[in-house]
Amino acid sequence: MNRRNLTIDTELVLLGFSNVLITNIFLSFIFSLIYIVTIFGNCFILCIVFINARLHIPMYFFISILSLVDLCNISSAVPKLLMDLFSGHPTISLFGCAIQIYVLLLIGSTECLLLAVMAYDRYLAICHPLHYPVLMKWSVCYGLTAFVCIFSLVTVILPSLAMPLKLCYPNQINHFMCEVLVVIKLACSDTSDNEIVIFAMSFLSLFFPFVLILVSYVCIISTVLKIRTAGRSKAFSTCTSHITVVALYFGTGMVTYLGPSSDVSSNQEKYVSIFYVIISPMLNPLIYSLNNREVKKNVSNFIFKLNSRQI
């Protein structure tokens, strides 16, 4: 087997965004800045929740889990993207590509289900406040978290492992990472069964949680409208951040996985995936910090204590 065929059998070429050096330098600066802000923001949320006993409640427990998931989400793609932007021939091994696909699928499914669990938590807190301490006790929180992880593993990873793909010419991916919908276009054989499995996976891990979230917020809005004006404003403010995250993450995810597929170009998948893999993990801590009075209050107290110690 000659070197050319060996390379095609063991590596895939990531076309990325551009071959122009100036453009790649600019993109590397932007993505580096986003990555730094994401790491700092999510780690800061984790620290604030960990050190403050007042935030040791189910709501902030799930926010902490979301921050961990976001850190894994952006780290699964951006470090490799930054290296490729400076590479003259960005490639990824078949093994590395498979690992990236499985990690992205697992993290994506986990985040969708976690957002549904967070919506359920807000539903109980607003619609059943008197029963909330019993219905959402710590054993239930841990059980829901374990369910999210196990369900994601069973519905996403196991079906993918059971249906491996044999890739053919060309060995180029019009993407900056290994996205399953793009890689499947390189398959030699018929992929109709794989597409059915992907649709079923997307329904269970994307559309089904989205429906649960909608039902939760219909109940929340119905309950909030019965509250007095002052209490109504406070209740709505606690849900604003969650609705923003859901709209951004599920909207872009459903466009990619439940929208019409394109056999000609994967430009749509490439640019839309930036939002749920890179932008959303950066915005989540900012959204929760800016729209959450308790978090802002604790951040202010934390900064005040640091200044006091310096003085």
* Domain residue spans of the chain: 3-310
Token code pair at residue 225: 């409208």
Cβ 286 vs Cβ 251: under 8 Å = no
pTM for the whole structure: 0.87
* Burial (Cβ within 10 Å: 0-12, 13-18, ≥19) of residue 58: buried
CA 210 to chain centre: 14
With CA atoms as reference, report the closest residue to 16 among 266, 184, 188, 291: 266
Token code pair at residue 296: 């802002």
The pLDDT tens digits along the chain (311 residues) read 343 343 445 788 888 888 888 888 899 999 999 999 999 999 988 988 888 888 889 989 999 999 999 999 999 999 999 998 887 678 888 888 888 988 999 999 999 999 999 999 989 988 898 999 999 999 999 999 999 999 988 887 777 766 667 777 667 888 889 888 888 888 777 777 888 888 888 888 889 999 999 999 889 888 887 776 655 666 666 667 678 778 888 988 888 887 766 544 457 778 889 999 999 999 888 887 666 666 666 666 666 665 666 55
For the chain, the maximum distance between any two Cα atoms, rounded to a whole number of angstroms, is 76
Fold that domain 3-310 belongs to in CATH? Rhopdopsin 7-helix transmembrane proteins (1.20.1070)
